[in-house]
Amino acid sequence: MSMANVVALNQSGDEEEKFFPSVNPGIKPFGSRVLVQIRRVRTKRKSGIIITKQTTETILDNTCVAKVIAVGPLAYKNRNTMEPWSEGTWCEAGEYVFVPKYGGLRWEKPYKVDDCYSDTIQFAIFDDLNITGSVEDPLNDENETVGAASRPAPRRPRSKKRSLRLSRSKAKPILMVMMAKTSDFPTLAMKKRTENVRLAAMSASAAVKRSVLPATRAKRKCSG
């Protein structure tokens, strides 16, 4: 074996340990169930870009690549006779399979070793019939996509009326500032003060008329 092949195998082993580290799930499947370990998610791209926690959680929810950890005694066998299926066993421990995105019993275990990967390991138990197929390249996560639920909704194009209204509302504060700079504040204050004095004089005159009018009527009655 050449040195290049040895290096490639070592790198592949290191990548496999990062995506599928050896962690005891603490559960042994019964019956026809299959225990798998979901592939870990990167928290930092190879380019050094850090992925947000919300994005990593969404990618983990959408990840369907898993490693078979254990297979129940009835998996891929006749439930009554315990004889293997005629088509053979779909998967065995150590193989990589494609599992459904939803369903199954899932749980997580903490595992903090590398900052470039998630700090939890997710396990799941599926029925043997729910295993979809085998995976040729389980370590390739470059095409991993985020689900549609996490994508922002497309922006609706603004109508001309709405755009004009927004432009006017944005221009209004600027127009107010320009008016404030060019207006004559003393003149406005003087006009307001003059108006207040005029209103006060009118109210005082009305009060005098109300107090004088009864006395005038009484004098006219006496003189008559």
Nearest one of 68, 58, 90, 67 to 77, comparing CA atoms: 90
Locate 24 and state its tokens. Answer: 């005891």
pLDDT of residue 147: 43
pLDDT at 6: 34
User: Of the given ranges (3-12, 19-28, 85-94, 116-125), which has the lowest mean pLDDT?
Assistant: 3-12
Confidence of residue 28 (pLDDT cuts 50, 70, 90): very high
Q: CA dist 141 to 39, 63, 138, 144, 191, Å?
A: 9, 9, 8, 5, 75
What is the CATH T-level fold of the domain 3-150, as seen in this structure? 10 Kd Chaperonin, Protein Cpn10; Chain O (2.30.33)
Split at pLDDT 50, 70, 90, the class of 129 is: very high
What is the reported pTM? 0.57
User: Both tokens of residue 161?
Assistant: 């009326």
How is the chain split into domains, by residue range?
3-150, 160-223
* pLDDT of res. 190: 72
Question: How high is the mean pLDDT of the chain?
Answer: 76
pLDDT tens profile 47-72: 778 888 888 888 888 889 999 999 99
What's the chain look like in SS3?
A: CCHHHHHHHHHHHHHHHHHCCCCCCCCCCCCCEEEEEECCCECECCCCCECCHHHHHHHHHHCCEEEEEEECCCCCECCCCCCECCCCCCCCCCCEEECCCCCCEEEEEECCCCCCECCEEEEEEEEHHHCCEECCCCCCCCCCCCCHHHCCCCCCCCCHHHHHHHHHHHHHHHHHHHHHHHCCHHHHHHHHHHHHHHHHHHHHHHHHHHHHHHHHHHHHHHHC
Question: What's the average model confidence in pLDDT over 193-207?
Answer: 79
Confidence of residue 115 (pLDDT cuts 50, 70, 90): confident
Distances (CA, A) of 174 to 103, 164, 177: 57, 16, 5
Percent of the chain with pLDDT over 70: 65
171 pLDDT band (50/70/90 cuts)? low
Mark residue 135 as left, alpha or beta (left: phi above 0; alpha: psi -120 to 50; beta: remaining): beta
Q: What is the pLDDT confidence band of residue 108, given thresholds at 50, 70 and 90?
A: very high
CB 74 within 8 A of CB 31: yes
Rounded distance between C-alpha atoms, residue 119 and residue 106, angstroms = 16
Question: pLDDT tens for residues 173-189?
Answer: 554 555 555 555 556 66
pLDDT at position 3 is: 37
